[in-house]
Amino acid sequence: MEGVRVQEAEACFLPPLETRVKEPILRQPAAMLPLKEKDKPIVQKLLSAGCCARCILRFCCTRVQAAYRQPEQETLKELLAFISNPQDPAALESNGDNKSHDAAVSESTGDNNPHDAAEDPPSKRAKLEPSETTAGSEEKEEEDAAAKSRVCVVCLGILQEFCDTAQAVKIAEAVKAEKYEFDSVMCSVSLPAQLCVREHSCWLHVKKEVRDKILVLDKDDIIPLKEAFKWVVQGLVSKGLGGVAMVNKGGLEVGVEFTHEATDADCHFLASVCPDCFKPGKKKQSVFTRMAVVKALEKISEAKFLKHYPCPPTRTSSCCSLQGVQCLHVSLFIAGRYNKFSRTLPQTPWLIDGERRMESSVEELIGASVLSSFRAEGFNFSSSGREDVDVRTLGNGRPFAMELLNPHRSRLSRAEMKQLQETINESSDKIRVRDLQIVSRDAMSRMKEGEEEKTKSYTALVWTRKPIQSDDIIFIDDIKELTLDQKTPLRVLHRRALAVRQRVVHSMSARFLDQHHFHLELKTQAGTYIKEFVHGDFGRTKPNLCELLQTDTDILELDVESVDVDWPPAIPE
């Protein structure tokens, strides 16, 4: 907790520090970095372990983004200058402008004597150095040189060469090539899982170093690698894309994925130590997912970890490689109402044993034009209920909504939407669409809410075995608010739970056609199975029309006349 407080204090003091720094003509490198005396041993330790400058800032919990954005070599120089600074605060002051820095230190450490804090490191360093590196200062120098030139042991180059402007331009170009139209960009980074192991190892390395210091450094206080990477790269990518806004959610997601095959084996020891964290899944290519590795690292004891893995992590000569840039635009939602004029057109593709039963479907007829307008990769279709393949939907139609996946275009004007609607309607005479509009994701749920409560109107063509009498017509017309007990129809029992559901037929009216046929108009509660009400479904819907008319009845045709859901809002023609 103290660590967090220190950071906050630092942040508060930073602006005056920066303004003061700019005043002297001679810019003092070390002054740029918001580091304090007690960071020194950490910086020293990490430098010699082969950490890059930006990773060192992360381990020092520096949240000053500007410090990450400056060129890595510069930061490194400043770090080297910082640790080679005399330990005496007075000397620091004479070396440049360090008043404010010092002030920050004394403020943030509270009642701690800044002299104590400053004097501590050298003795510590003196104590530790011989045990750490068995050789003398020559080797130390060598190591420093290695740290400068070599790939960072923690980030494997992520915060080094991949933070270059050139890399950011490359990412921006990859995005441009996909020809998206977008308002904002969100950056997502996928890193090899072994970076967690390396970070953990490094953390144990410095934790040991600062154990008896005042600063209580917790692993959570370390700036996540992803975050630091984004601080540096996001702005550069945004610039490359013409200054588009960078956001944390929504818009175009630009995913960069890094791998580092040479060190993939870093994680493997965890599987033998924590086998329960690594269970093979169906979709997983490897059990060593980032999540699993993080979980295992939380479980594993320090001693066990150190037994199996070097601390600090071993150096490698190669950088991570950028696997590619994946672009994914957030889904877009559109809604409308559709009519279906065909009795051989299913709502969604009808597959039996993987084979197609009917040629097209409502969703495909609508989807084709929509996909090409929005240049989307796919869609999910949903609607307020659904009709059978042999049922028409007339009247104002049935509300539907579509989630467009990865649309390359996300804005259509009202006129363009109208044009799209016309294109759909001209493409087929089996369906018709109206009220087509772009909606929010939340608005879609309103359609589903209305599904069970609202009423629906139907017209059925009914056959009767006995000749129909005029009494029968009057009898039917008089029926109001008839409650049915419907057992799940056998027709859908394979995919719905078996239950008796009560549904209300609000009203009915019969139109005589001939002795054995009449048109039955019904207004019912949504969710009423009309076909079963007419033929009885083996007596499983009660009462049913056979029972009411005391003869066998069957349904020959069915039309949905209206679906009374007031969403989406009507759009005047």
Partner 1 sequence: MDDTEQRDPEDIAPSVIERYYTRWYRADMKGKPCEDHCVLQHSNRICVVTLAETHPILQNGRTITSINYQISDGCSRLKNKVSGKSKRGGQFLTDFAPLCRITCSDETEYTIYSCIRGRLLEVNESILKTPKLLLEKPATEGYIAVILPKFDESKSITENLLSREDFEESSPNGLLANRSPPDGARCSRPVPSPSCCGCVYLPSVPTRLDKKRNCGCHPGKVTFTCGDS
Given the rule CB under 8 A, which residues bind partner 1?
Answer: 352, 461, 463-465, 467, 487, 490-498, 513-517, 535-536, 538-539, 554, 556
DSSP 256-277: EEEE-GGGGGGGHHHHHH-GGG
Q: At what angle do helices 165-177 and 225-240 cross, to 10 degrees?
A: 60
CA distances from 82 to 61, 165, 291, 499 (A): 16, 26, 36, 75
Q: Which two tokens stand for residue 152?
A: 């960072």
SS3 readout for 278-319:
CCCCCCCCCCCCHHHHHHHHHHCCHHHHHHHCCCCCCCCCCC
DSSP 386-455: ---TTEEEEEEEEEEEEEEES-S-----HHHHHHHHHHHHHH-SSEEEEEEEEE-HHHHHHHHHHHHHSE
Selecting among 144, 164, 264, 388, the annotated active-site residue is 388
Beta bridge partners of residue 480, listed in sequence order: 507
Nearest to 502 by CA among 486, 490, 488: 486
Q: What's the count of helices (H) and strands (E) in the chain, helices before strands?
A: 22, 16
Label residue 159 exposed, middle or buried (CB < 10 Å: 0-12, 13-18, 19+).
buried
> Residue 532 carries which side chain, given as an amino acid letter?
E
**Residue 211 or residue 494: which is nearer to partner 1 going by CB?**
494
Give residues with Cβ within 8 angstroms of 15, minimum separation 6.
none
Nearest to 202 by CA among 235, 237, 134, 153: 153
d(CA 506, CA 302): 71
Collapsing DSSP to helix, strand or coil, 328 comes out as strand
Task: Compute and round to an integer the Cα radius of gyration of the chain.
Answer: 35
d(CA 199, CA 197): 5
Nearest to 7 by CA among 279, 223, 245, 269: 223
**Residue 365 or residue 555: which is nearer to partner 1 going by CB?**
555
Q: How many CA atoms are closer than 13 Å to the CA of 124, on its beta-carbon side?
A: 22
Q: Smallest gap, in angstroms, from Cβ of residue 570 to partner 1?
A: 33
Q: Smallest gap, in angstroms, from Cβ of residue 537 to partner 1?
A: 8
**Cβ distance 175 to 327 under 8 Å?**
yes
Label residue 101 exposed, middle or buried (CB < 10 Å: 0-12, 13-18, 19+).
buried
Handedness of CA 149, 152, 157, 158 (dihedral sign): negative
d(CA 406, CA 454): 33
**Cβ distance 187 to 237 under 8 Å?**
yes
66 — alpha (psi -120 to 50), left (phi > 0) or beta?
A: alpha
**Cβ distance 379 to 402 under 8 Å?**
yes
Active site residue 388: yes
Q: What is the DSSP letter of 40?
A: H
Could you give the residue numbers annotated as active site?
A: 388
